Amino acid sequence: MAATRSRTPHVPGVKSRRLPARLVAAADEASILGIRAGAASVHRFVGVWPIVVEGRLFARSWTVRPGGWFDTFQRDPIGVITIGERHVRIRAVRVRSERLKDAVSAGYATKYSTKGSRAFVIGFRRPRRRDATIEFVPRAAR
């Protein structure tokens, strides 16, 4: 469900706030994305369902519990994602926009449309999980 991305002029010395388009496209094709939360944590890689909206990469936490990946990203937003064999250093940014949260919910419903996924797609619409929406951006972006 990749959307077209608007073109913005490149400003020398300013890092992009978005991951490269080819990387986002690969994540969009994948059904599972590996993430490791926190620069100083001992977390292992865990699998999440990636969603691409407007050329941006998002995920939601299912459990939203203390010590989990979402909680760790709130305290230490630096981490790593895996796409295939590639490890990419990222920064996790909590999504506050209701419009983006709605788009991510719609993305889950479209991408994960099997009968077995239905309960999870419905569960991701619940307020505590909806509020646990994270965008992955390049590590240097703020």
Please list, in sequence order, all residues whose beta carbon lies within 8 angstroms of the beta carbon of residue 18, skipping any fewer than 6 positions away.
5, 24, 55, 56, 137, 138, 141
In a domain, 54, yes or no: yes
Q: How confident is the chain (142 residues) per 10-residue block, as mean pLDDT?
A: 46 65 94 92 88 97 92 94 92 96 97 95 95 93 52
* pLDDT value of residue 42: 78
- Inside any domain, residue 6: no
Q: Does any domain span residue 16? A: no
The per-residue pLDDT of the chain, averaged, comes to 88
3-state DSSP call for residue 121?
A: helix
pLDDT by residue (tens digit) across 44-60?
A: 899 999 999 999 999 99
**Parent domain of 106:** 21-138
Q: Would 25 be classed as within a structural domain?
A: yes
Per-residue pLDDT tens digits for 111-121: 999 999 999 99
* Residue among 103, 95, 94 nearest 125 (CA): 103
Pairing of strands 86-94, 56-60: unpaired
In this structure, which amino acid lies at residue 110? T
Q: What is the CATH number of the domain that holds 59?
A: 2.30.110.10
Give the chain's domain count: 1
